[in-house]
Amino acid sequence: MTLTHEVVNQSSPLVDVNLFDGNLPLREGLAVHLPAGALAGAEDRLRALGAVAGSAAMQAHARWANVHGPVLRTHDRQGRRIDEVEFHPSYHTLMSTAIAHGLHARPWALGPGAHVERAAGFMLFTELEPSVLCPVSMTYAATPALRGNPAVLADWFPRLTSTEYDPRLVVLRDKTGVTMGMGMTEKQGGSDVRANTTRASFESDTPWGRCYRLVGHKWFFSAPMCDAFLVLAQAEAGLSCFFLPRVLPDGRRNALRIQRLKDKLGNKANASSEVEFTGAQAWLVGEEGRGVPQILEMGTLTRLDCALGTTGLMRQALSLALHHARQRQAFGRPLVQHALMRNVLADLALESEAATALSLRLARAFDRQDDPFEALMRRVLTPVAKFWICKRGSGFAQETMECLGGNGYVEEGGEGVMARIYREMPLNSIWEGAGNIMALDLLRVLQRAGPDVAAAVAAELEPLAGVSPVCDAARARVLDRLQGVVDEHEARRLAQNLALAVQAALLRRHAPDFVFEAFVAARLDGSPGLSYGCLPARADFEHLLQRAAPA
Ligand SMILES: Cc1cc2nc3c(=O)[nH]c(=O)nc-3n(C[C@H](O)[C@H](O)[C@H](O)COP(=O)(O)OP(=O)(O)OC[C@H]3O[C@@H](n4cnc5c(N)ncnc54)[C@H](O)[C@@H]3O)c2cc1C
């Protein structure tokens, strides 16, 4: 063999770093939003999770779980129907790690601040592997919705909040922990669930309440190896919400057939399936005919998680870009010393910090539901954050990928993570209500609580008042629109302007001046650049980059 060249000027993989310690905006945000007495304990737990999630060993599990995706086994060797999905052992390692850290249940088991702490943990874990968080998120979200059937909740709550991951498909009493999923979307319509055709026929009264038989299908049914699901089906009084366990109380498997697994763009480690119910037994949750509001109790929490997930992915992509730009030399200097690359990276850092601020703010609203102001902010900010943060994700992923040059587009090796992030990014924007549906949901909140919303948003935006003409104009742009009826054509514009104004107000209140000022210049001043990297030359690039540095 002749040596043709030496490999030089390639950046090292970003592994064995503590993702919590390296995320200054997240740590500062926790100090703002957590009750004083809860901060130290939360920091200890998140630091432990940050070390695990950033470790080379767990990053390898993330890669294996994605490369060796789930496989559907419809039948056993003797031809019996089993409807099981097999996962690589790394998937189970990731699941047990997420559940051991309470990401599926902490707020239901702990006290004040638990949603904020869990939100931070969810974002950190996303940087390790987002797709296993699908069943983790659905388990977290399903638990409060089960209050609509107290008997089921009483039996399932101890396992839903257990920190042991138990993937076995066995009867509840033999399980050490359980997970849950949800089934709303059918072939003929997902956003418009009223078009659901799955039928539910009442069968009998049981210790878990009214039991029905379901016949029909679901076109998207993620994590079908969960132990139970909340599903929508048409009963006599209309669309209703049902609890459907995979294994029945007598130990038999429920009549749920997994038809096939989806061949997805990304989210490869997670199984998403198409299923049919062939007379599956399911128990009513809430009232017959009130299925949509009932299951939306779950949907509100999964929408929070979409915002958190995209924020986590943004942070991961930013860290990879910053890490690479510090090491890679071009034209005689590291990339990070080139003016235009500094502008791009600083602008991405602003986007990531603003997303972190909005995500934690929203999680705080979930922690304080007994406060009417926070309850209203939860209602307003959930669609706004889900819309805006998730919508910004794909462009962000593309720009961070470009910072790595050609290596960013290649799947293999350390930087291959970037391609995985890029494929994952659009998902949070689509599922749990796509962009338009979120913008329309914001209009619905305004219709129902109009003047109260305007007053609450005015209070939230108070930090912008009188700061500068640009800030006053941004505040007025939103508050004026909240006064009257908003045309549907303008719903996205309102959601965008509201998101940007709330992000600016949060940065004004809690971030250093150089972050706030650069954000205002880049996002609010009326002529912001349409691509990343258009910050004005006066921005404090040095401090913006230092602040965002991952280690
Ligand atoms: C990987 C993956 C996993 C999933 N897992 C699950 C799951 O576990 N359980 C589950 O129930 N679902 C799941 N879904 C389905 C997902 O929630 C739906 O795909 C989504 O809600 C959109 O519904 P749809 O596909 O029927 O599209 P449609 O409802 O047809 O929407 C198409 C487009 O039209 C827009 N639109 C719809 N109505 C309006 C309107 N009134 N005004 C303006 N625009 C409108 C939407 O914003 C969207 O952009 C999953 C989807 C994916 C991709």
Instruction: Please list, in sequence order, all residues whose beta carbon lies within 8 angstroms of the beta carbon of residue 225, skipping any fewer than 6 positions away.
Output: 84, 85, 87, 135, 167, 169, 246, 271
Taking the CB of residue 24, how many other CB atoms lie within 10 A of it? 15
User: What pairing do the DSSP bridges indicate for beta strands 209-222 and 199-206?
Assistant: antiparallel
- Interior angle at CA 529, CA 526 and CA 530, nearest 5: 105
Per-position DSSP letters for 400-432, written without gaps between them: HHHHTGGGGG--SSGGGHHHHHHHHTTHHHHTT
Q: Give dist(CA 110, CA 106) in Å, integer.
A: 6
Does ligand 1 lie within 6 Å of residue 182's CB atom?
yes
* DSSP annotation of 464: G
8 A C-beta contact, residue 131 and residue 268: yes
- pTM as predicted: 0.98
Does ligand 1 lie within 6 Å of residue 434's CB atom?
yes
Ligand 1 nearest atom to the CA of residue 182, by list position: 9
Please report, in angstroms and rounded to a whole number, the separation of the first and last CA atoms in the chain.
40
Does ligand 1 lie within 6 Å of residue 264's CB atom?
yes
Half-sphere exposure for 167 (CA within 13 Å, toward CB) = 19
Residue 160 Cα, ligand 1 centroid: separation in angstroms? Answer: 27
Integer-rounded Cα Rg, in Å, for the chain is 24
Ligand 1 nearest atom to the CA of residue 264, by list position: 1
Residue 150 Cα, ligand 1 centroid: separation in angstroms? Answer: 30
Place of tokens 């299923």: 275
Residue 502 Cα, ligand 1 centroid: separation in angstroms? Answer: 27
Half-sphere exposure for 518 (CA within 13 Å, toward CB) = 29
Does ligand 1 lie within 6 Å of residue 312's CB atom?
no
8 A C-beta contact, residue 125 and residue 102: no
Alpha carbon separation from 232 to 99, 282, 291, 437, 461 (Å, rounded): 26, 10, 6, 18, 38
Pocket test for ligand 1, best of 194, 196, 220 (most atoms within 8 A of CB): 220
Residue 440 Cα, ligand 1 centroid: separation in angstroms? Answer: 14
Q: Give dist(CA 245, CA 180) in Å, integer.
A: 9
CA torsion 194→195→197→200, rounded to 10°? 0
Q: Give dist(CA 399, CA 530) in Å, integer.
A: 12
- Residue of 201, 157, 420 whose CA lies nearest to 313: 420
Which pLDDT tens digits describe the chain residue by residue (551 residues)?
678 999 999 999 899 999 999 999 999 999 999 998 999 999 999 999 999 999 999 999 999 999 999 999 999 999 999 999 999 999 999 999 999 999 999 999 887 789 999 999 999 999 999 999 999 999 999 999 999 999 999 999 999 999 999 999 999 999 999 999 999 999 998 999 999 999 999 999 999 999 999 999 999 999 999 999 999 999 999 999 999 999 999 999 999 999 999 999 999 999 999 999 999 999 999 999 999 999 999 999 999 999 999 999 999 999 999 999 999 999 999 999 999 999 999 999 999 999 999 999 999 999 999 999 999 999 999 999 999 999 999 999 999 999 999 999 998 754 479 999 999 999 999 999 999 999 999 999 999 887 889 999 999 999 999 999 999 999 999 999 998 888 999 999 999 999 999 999 999 999 999 999 999 999 998 766 788 999 999 999 999 999 999 97
**Alpha helix (H) ranges present in 200-290?**
none
One-letter amino acid for residue 539 of the chain: A
One-letter amino acid for residue 390 of the chain: C
Output the six-digit token pair for 235.
């009963």
Instruction: Provide the residue count of the chain.
Output: 551
Output the six-digit token pair for 69.
């995706």
User: What pairing do the DSSP bridges indicate for beta strands 209-222 and 228-235?
Assistant: unpaired
Buried b (16+ CB within 10 A) or exposed e, 84-94: bbebbebbebb
Does ligand 1 lie within 6 Å of residue 272's CB atom?
yes
Does ligand 1 lie within 6 Å of residue 87's CB atom?
no
Pocket test for ligand 1, best of 430, 443, 444 (most atoms within 8 A of CB): 430
**Alpha helix (H) ranges present in 425-519?**
427-430, 435-460, 469-483, 491-510, 513-519
Name the 3-class secondary structure at 228.
Answer: strand
Residue 475 Cα, ligand 1 centroid: separation in angstroms? Answer: 32
Residue 190 Cα, ligand 1 centroid: separation in angstroms? Answer: 5
Element (H, E) at 189: none
8 A C-beta contact, residue 112 and residue 367: yes
Does ligand 1 lie within 6 Å of residue 290's CB atom?
no
Residue 186 Cα, ligand 1 centroid: separation in angstroms? Answer: 10
Atom 14, ligand 1: which residue's CA is nearest? 220
8 A C-beta contact, residue 219 and residue 187: yes
In this predicted structure, what is the pLDDT of residue 258?
98
In this predicted structure, what is the pLDDT of residue 516?
98
